[in-house]
Structure 1
Amino acid sequence: MARNIPNVAGRRYLASMAIDDDVLDWLLDSDPALRWQVQRDLAGDPPAVWEATRALVATEGWGADLLSKQDPDGQWAGGSFFPAGFFGSAEAEQPGQPWVATTWVLKDLREWGLDAAALPDEAEKLEANSRWDYDDLPYWGGEIDVCINSYTLASGAWLGADVSALAKWFPAHRLADGGWNCEAEEGNSTRSSFHSTLNAVRGMLAYERITGDTSLRDARHGGEEYLLSRNLLYRASTGELVGEFATQFVYPNRHRYSVLAALDHFRDVSLLEGTPPDPRLSDAIDQVRAARQPDGTWLQSRRLAGRTWFDVDVPAGEPSPWLTLIGTRVLDWWDAAR
């Protein structure tokens, strides 16, 4: 795909230090949800260019497709976290879970850059019509699962809902070792989880970035320290790899931890707070660099099981545009600091 970018001795002026023209063109030939991030983070396009592409998320491609599937009451698939009729159905006996209900759709749309103005009155509709599967609790109050609450906190801030009470839940439910665990509220664990802690700090960071409220920063920093003290990879007890999931990269990762997803979070923190990369990230960076293919791409790992509205990335084993965007910008951020 031809691009009007200046050349000097055959080289483009690019924001990325780790991408060549062929890979960049491949990434730019994509849905607006991905393309605007490539323009901003890798191509070095001015804001007027990538903001115009970002605006297309509401009217073209995946974003528009998801918006078209919304129920009149503001939900998707008739449910908050699971679709209506899920429990007791044949689908509930299958591996994974469906990713089509309201919380997952809002998470996708927010992360794809959809303008909240494309969802007028969404906060009010969910307040009136959506309840959690757990104890029939009201949507914007959250429930007992930290991952669910993290998505709700971020989406509520984005949509203008009052989630100030939910924000206070996070420091109150942080575990003694510094992080969070979705199993803790059921009394099944007193130790933090890599998965839950990353979801928690990502939700709190999104809340802070959108609202400007820094009241959760100390709690967030504590969760980030939990991950940093383990170099994003290792068990504190044995020093062994926390699990194969840490070095298996997948998009969409939904709730699933990997060092690539964690590094993308720490990059976001660095950009918001104006801080350099922590040296303890170096082992995780090495894992991301090692996974980069000779052509400059990253391969999709085994995708998460469960029904989706449609695919937004490639099958396992193929070069992933999303993972290539994320991997490239993480390495650019790290390398630029050195």
Structure 2
Amino acid sequence: MTAWLHESDPALRWQVERDLLGEEPGVWRATRARVATEGFGARLLALQDPDGRWAGGAYFPAGHDEAAEDGQPWTATTWTLNSLREWGLDPAVLRERRTAELLAQNCRWEYDDLPYWGGEVDCCINGWTLANGVWLGVDVTAVADWFVEHRLPDGGWNCEWVEGSTRSSFHSTLNALKGLLAHEVATGGTDATRAARRSGEEYLLRRGLFRKLSTGEPVAPWVDHFAYPFRWFYSVLNAAEYFREASLRDDVPPDPRLAEAMEIVRAARRPDGTWLQDRRHPGRVWFEVDAAAGEPSKWLTLSGTRVLGWWDSRTP
């Protein structure tokens, strides 16, 4: 199984070398450097517009007609930056292209025409703006502070707050946490942003990553539907990836309240050690980066293998 994973695009291969094979840094860093010149990463870089954007838009491509498409398109600037960052592209490549500056000049959110690096009202969008901003060296302090100001009374976040929602969402809270963690890794954060991250983590942990606090029932069937790319969609595997990264960052053992969720991840592993792609999220893409529905997924197998390895090795 590991050999099968290793025969992959550099965007995945370097993570296999670092997280599963335990290669020396010189080995996996050399592979990671190839993301800019080979495979998925190079293909996305070649699609960048001269004005710094992708597909002419911030969250949606230019000319997007929701009624005319099956699913949300995934080709615009934010989704492309998310992929390049998650695949390990050296941000110096985009800094040489003056991408952050060009986006500040030329890219505005479809919501109220707001400036790109200032974020908007959607928690998930602001989480990605925060992560992409610190990755590219942009001062996104105001976006980090936005999460402190917009945390809901139960400790998490909900993109529907602007419509009056006062209860947090699993999806929104996880995406907010990813942005706050990236900000903290890059800058150290502040007392307030660190407290907000702890609060959001507690929201998910109190629910075991997948249960309603009120009844103990699973919050929805999508919690164990694993699909890559994760996009904005919540699953216990997506959340486990976050908690693994946060645990390693904070140098603390896994929280025991993750136990039941981790067994859901384990139960999805097939006898050959792989995880299957549940589905492909509908919507326009530049190109496919993983298996079709029902086939073994290299990306999900990487995720499942490393989170179980972390859990099994560090849980007392």
TM over 0.5: yes
Letter in 2 for 1:204: L
In the alignment, which residue of structure 1 is the partner of 2:177? 201
Q: Map of 1:124-273 to 2, 5 A cutoff?
A: 124-187=101-164, 189-215=165-191, 216-273=193-250
Displacement of 1:93 after TM fit? 3.5
Distance 1:133 1:261, change over 3 A: same
Displacement of 1:172 after TM fit? 0.3
Residues paired across the two proteins, number: 312
Q: Distance in 2 between matches of 1:56 and 1:33?
A: 8
Asked if 1:39 corresponds to 2:4, the answer is no
Q: Distance in 2 between matches of 1:276 and 1:173?
A: 29
In the alignment, which residue of structure 2 is the partner of 1:16? none
> Which of 110, 114, 121 is the equivalent residue of 2:85?
110
> Which of 37, 46, 50 is the equivalent residue of 2:28?
50
Displacement of 1:214 after TM fit? 4.2
Percent identity between the two aligned chains = 64
Q: Distance in 2 between matches of 1:78 and 1:126?
A: 11
Q: Distance in 2 between matches of 1:96 and 1:223?
A: 29
> Which of 260, 276, 279 is the equivalent residue of 1:299?
276
Q: Map of 1:57-76 to 2, 5 A cutoff?
A: 57-76=35-54
Deviations 1:94-122 (A, max 9, x none): 33200000000000000000011111211
Q: Distance in 2 between matches of 1:332 and 1:181?
A: 31
Q: Distance in 2 between matches of 1:212 and 1:178?
A: 21
SS at match of 2:202: helix
Q: Distance in 2 between matches of 1:185 and 1:66?
A: 33
SS at match of 2:276: coil
Asked if 1:286 corresponds to 2:263, the answer is yes
TM-score (norm 2): 0.97
Displacement of 1:92 after TM fit? 3.7
Deviations 1:166-200 (A, max 9, x none): 1100010000011000001222x110000000000
Q: Distance in 2 between matches of 1:312 and 1:283?
A: 30
Q: Distance in 1 between matches of 2:207 and 2:67?
A: 35
Distance 1:214 1:53, change over 3 A: farther
Letter in 1 for 2:174: L
Deviations 1:215-253 (A, max 9, x none): 411101100000000000101121110111101100001
Distance 1:214 1:267, change over 3 A: farther
Letter in 1 for 2:137: G
TM-score (norm 1): 0.91
Letter in 2 for 1:287: I
Q: Distance in 2 between matches of 1:245 and 1:214?
A: 34
SS at match of 1:183: helix
Q: Distance in 2 between matches of 1:211 and 1:110?
A: 17
Letter in 1 for 2:117: W
Q: Distance in 2 between matches of 1:186 and 1:132?
A: 18
Structure 1: state its 5+ residue gaps.
1-22
SS at match of 2:75: coil
Q: Distance in 2 between matches of 1:277 and 1:174?
A: 24
SS at match of 1:97: coil
SS at match of 1:256: coil
Letter in 2 for 1:117: A
The answer to which structure has the higher helix fraction is 2
Deviations 1:33-72 (A, max 9, x none): 0000000000010000000000000000000000000000
Q: Distance in 1 between matches of 2:208 and 2:251?
A: 21
Displacement of 1:208 after TM fit? 1.2
In the alignment, which residue of structure 2 is the partner of 1:11? none
